[in-house]
Amino acid sequence: MTRARNCLRSLAYLTVMLGFGFARAGSYEDFFEAIARDDPVTINQLIQRGFDPSSRDPKGQTALFVALRAQSFKAAEALLAGPQPDINALNETGESALMMAALKGQLDWVKRLLEHGAQVNKPGWTPLHYAATGPNPAVVQLLLDRGAEINAESPNRTTPLMMAARYGNEASVDLLLARGADPQRRNDLGLSVADFARDGQRPALATKLTKLLR
């Protein structure tokens, strides 16, 4: 009788644990699906039921990073208002939520993340590199005003000015130069800022930048 009772107790425990695991798996999928469809109600319900909002998606991205990348701003609001997220959490390639907001040119969100303690400077690729790559010079200006290292070097010594010259708004190039970015630098491949502009199919900009080279 005792053995039977213990077996029943173990079976009941296993059933509960399996049920919890299935519920958690479902919650995980529901959570990231809610972010994709910009559904703050479901996000809040899942968090209130105990789901950990610091969970990462299958690619290792934080929820806030995913929300800003998808421009799911209501979802991002819910995440920021919930249990305090790790604003400076990085994905496997060293990217933060601030870097994604900067890349997308989301000025309001860059401001909000900075207000919540997002780090302006970090080793390797920085938010300023991403802002310079993006469409909004106002984000570049804001990061500089908040102390971003203007000549920050990526792992291969690429600077924000180089990124702006190839990919970004040309107004960002002018802004960086006006604020003191060094046009003389070259990255580990020996490429100058003019080379970056040329590679980005911007011949007029490349000509202008070439005149700055010694």
Q: Are residues 122 and 210 in the same domain?
A: yes
Region of residue 159 (left: phi > 0; alpha: psi -120 to 50; beta: else): beta
Q: Are residues 80 and 97 in the same domain?
A: no
Q: Which of 27, 102, 99 is nearest to 61 (CA)?
A: 99
For 38-89, what is each residue's pLDDT tens digit? 999 999 999 999 999 999 999 999 999 999 999 999 999 999 998 878 999 9
Domain total in the chain: 2
**Tokens 């990073």 belong to which residue?**
65
**Residues of the chain under the 50 pLDDT cut:** 1, 4-25
pLDDT score recorded for residue 21: 43
pTM of the shown model? 0.87
Tokens of 138: 């106002």
Q: Are residues 156 and 197 in the same domain?
A: yes
Answer with the one of 86, 111, 129 that is the final residue of a domain: 86
Q: Are residues 102 and 195 in the same domain?
A: yes
> Which SS3 state, helix, strand or coil, does residue 62 take?
strand
What are 62's strand-pairing partners? 56
Cα gap 2→61, rounded to integer Å: 49
Long-range contacts for 91-97 (Cβ within 8 Å, ≥24 apart)? 91/56, 91/59, 91/60, 91/61, 91/62, 91/65, 92/60, 94/122, 94/124, 94/125, 95/65, 95/125, 95/130, 96/65, 96/122, 96/127, 97/62, 97/64, 97/65, 97/68
CA 76 distance to own-chain centroid: 12
Q: Are residues 144 and 51 in the same domain?
A: no
pLDDT score recorded for residue 93: 95
Q: Are residues 149 and 210 in the same domain?
A: yes
Q: Are residues 115 and 184 in the same domain?
A: yes
> What is the domain range of residue 78?
1-86
pLDDT score recorded for residue 26: 65
Q: Are residues 68 and 97 in the same domain?
A: no
Answer with the one of 86, 120, 145 that is the final residue of a domain: 86
Q: Are residues 100 and 202 in the same domain?
A: yes
Q: Are residues 189 and 203 in the same domain?
A: yes
**CATH code assigned at 8:** 1.25.40.20
Answer with the one of 68, 86, 104 that is the final residue of a domain: 86
Q: Are residues 26 and 51 in the same domain?
A: yes
Q: Are residues 176 and 119 in the same domain?
A: yes
